[in-house]
Amino acid sequence: MTRPCLTLLALAAAATVAHAADGEPTLAPVTVQGHYDNAVGTSDAASQGTIRRELLDSRPALRPAEVLEYVPGVIVTQHSGDGKANQYFLRGFNLDHGTDFATWVNGMPANMPTHGHGQGYTDLNFLVPELVDRIDYRKGPYFADVGDFASAGAAFIAYRRSLPQPMAQLTIGQDDYLRGVFAGSTTLGNGSTLLGGLELARYDGPWVLPMDLKKANGLLTWSDGSAARGWSVSAMAYHASWDSTDQIPMRAIQDGSLSRFGAVDPTDGGESARYSLSGEWRDRGDQGGWTASAYAMHYELDLFSNFTYTLDRGPTGDQFQQKDDRNVFGAQLTRDWNHRLAGRESRTELGGSVRYDRIRVGLYDTVARVQENTVREDKVGQTGLGLYASNSTEWLPWLRSVAGLRVDQFRASVDSSLAANSGSTDDTQVSPKLSLVFGPWANTEFFVNAGRGFHSNDARGTTTTVDPSPPNDPVSPVPPLVATRGYELGLRTEAVRGLQSSLALWKLDIGSELVYIGDAGNTEAGRPSERYGVEWNNRWIPLPWLLIDADLAWTRARFSDSAPEGDRIPGAVERVASIAASVKDLSGWSGSLQWRYLGARPLVEDNSVRAGSSLITNLRVGRQLTKNLDLTLDVFNLFDRDANDIEYWYESQLPGEAGPVADRHIHPAEPRTLRVTLQARF
């Protein structure tokens, strides 16, 4: 992959940091009051909220995408090298790499439809956590302004537009971890602000095969005005390469032929790049206004994996390459008005969005990253159009309604290497939404939410009529869009001083979990399913310097039809929990202690094989050495537990084995890991 865009952006970002450091800072420090913006009266659902920068700064993150773990109920893991998208869990979904959870960064969608590895693939390794300003999150399909991939939830990540001072940060850690972050902002002659950021990192990890992760990441943002009336333009560039230790069979660990941190195929790995240009504009006042955004992005991925070892192709091995090369263009426009409806205070919002992906995607048999055979290659043009209307009206001092309607249209053309799998397809989804908010009484609100949503399927699956792998059996195309239906009852209370608590009871039905299996190049028709559960989230500030978070979730997930193999959904986590205590401004000391629990889950439909639970403890201790110099120690997996990030059950065949063996395949969580960070501000 070529890297000129990354080089230019990195140089520009470094120049911005240097310019900002030339003199006294021109921007006043921003003081964030509290870790959250989830007070009574600010949300349309009990499971909706906002995470502020102060909380993001208080806890350690092993990987960039773990910023999503601040969203209550979300668990982020990894089953491969750290350059690959993470594995996400929420509300009884093993979201794989992002399906059914929509993620946006600075107004750009991060989910990739018709992706080479998996539908909705969400690679957040380009995130720089130190530059994230806030995360707005939602659960369920109750919001009209979000469409594809948002059935389980959505997160909107916004970067900072200025820094009070330039900063340089260096982190060193075990297993050859080294990371540097440099960022700063400056006010230009016309009053606008230019922010630049640069991240460089490398890491080998605890693996027998060193991961050899190399990452470079740059950001430039030019902005003017305020969040209500202003604009910003951002350029981002990211490149990473790595070697992977993918999941390995338990039988090899138990007989001693492999370490828990060993690899079967030492040539697995990948390379990824992402370059984007985006802009946002707002002109909003007391009576409403306009909001617009647009983006253009180029993305590349070459991923080499081997999950079955020698099962399919014998001694040469089963390694395959998944390739994705795309250009993405999109825009959103909204207009809202504050007015009166039947004599009541009301707000109406109209919006539209368009996204076009031009994709070259391929699946190949490989040996040591050398292509041996083309399974399939496709050129895909995919367009998504969305229109919505939403109205919020306060009918009584204690009753507010939010009603919405969204219409989405999907169009795709597929030019496949196998002519029988070429074609065009389109589909339309109409999604009504309704929320009722009651209260507040005694600083307590009650919520009723219902809505219809959807997720798209891989465009290749909608035109595939022949299995691309020999003997080329006929297959049935899948529908482009799959409907979901969600319901929620909830409450949020601040009745106890210093304690903010919310409780949500929810249900989500999916007509059919139809997916395109990127690892095999064909489609698989899933069964209808239903999930319901309870989430209980708490934020308590017993002392001015102490914050306690406790997020607990329980889910029941089942296939809703009858089948002899059983009704359990493999990978559906039943219980998750996160409990953290954070201290700040304690005579120059700060810190946090966090417990993260990932519950047991079935690995097969009849529940005869289950993945075990895990409890990971992370610690952060910080010390302000001087006014502009901080030292931080992060300890991940404090008690060095032998936990697994992921577990699967399937057949594989190791070299030397006479035939396939059904077995548990695991990717371990990293052992106790220490990292030390020194941050200087100028």
What are the tokens at 515? Answer: 């997916």
Q: Of 311, 384, 299, 402, give the one whose Cα is nearest residue 348.
A: 402
What are the tokens at 608? Answer: 């005869």
Give the pLDDT score at 286: 86
**CA 650 – CA 600 distance, rounded (Å):** 18
Query: Is the predicted pLDDT of residue 27 greater than 50, yes or no?
Result: no
pLDDT by residue (tens digit) across 545-564?
999 999 999 999 999 998 89
pLDDT by residue (tens digit) across 45-83?
999 999 999 888 889 999 999 999 999 999 999 988 999
Give residue 521's pLDDT band: very low, low, confident or very high (50, 70, 90): very low
pLDDT by residue (tens digit) across 321-362?
999 999 999 999 999 999 999 999 999 999 999 999 999 999
> Average pLDDT, whole number, for the chain?
91
> Which residues 6+ apart lie within 8 Å of 88 measured at CB?
65, 68, 74, 75, 76, 95, 96, 97, 98, 101, 122
> Which residues 6+ apart lie within 8 Å of 587 measured at CB?
none
Helix (H), strand (E) counts: the chain? 4, 39
Query: Is the predicted pLDDT of residue 458 greater than 70, yes or no?
Result: yes
Query: Is the predicted pLDDT of residue 1 greater than 50, yes or no?
Result: no
In this prediction the pTM is 0.92
Query: Is the predicted pLDDT of residue 24 greater than 70, yes or no?
Result: no
Give the pLDDT score at 42: 83
**CA 477 – CA 484 distance, rounded (Å):** 20
% of the chain at pLDDT higher than 90: 83
More confident residue, 212 or 94: 212
47 contacts 61 by C-beta, under 8 angstroms: no
% of the chain at pLDDT higher than 70: 92
Query: Is the predicted pLDDT of residue 38 greater than 80, yes or no?
Result: no
pLDDT by residue (tens digit) across 577-632?
999 999 998 899 999 999 999 999 999 999 999 999 999 999 999 999 999 999 99
Strands (E), 248-369: 248-249, 269-285, 288-305, 320-341, 344-367
Instruction: Tell me the CA distances in angstroms from 78 to 97, 270, 491, 560, one per residue in order.
Output: 9, 14, 33, 29
> Could you count the other beta carbons within 10 Å of the beta carbon of residue 157?
23
- How far out from the chain centre does Cα 90 lie? 11
DSSP state of 18: H
**CA 563 – CA 221 distance, rounded (Å):** 54
Architecture of domain 4-681: Beta Barrel (2.40)
Query: Is the predicted pLDDT of residue 23 greater than 60, yes or no?
Result: no
Query: Is the predicted pLDDT of residue 222 greater than 90, yes or no?
Result: yes
What are the tokens at 61? Answer: 């993150």
Give the pLDDT score at 469: 83
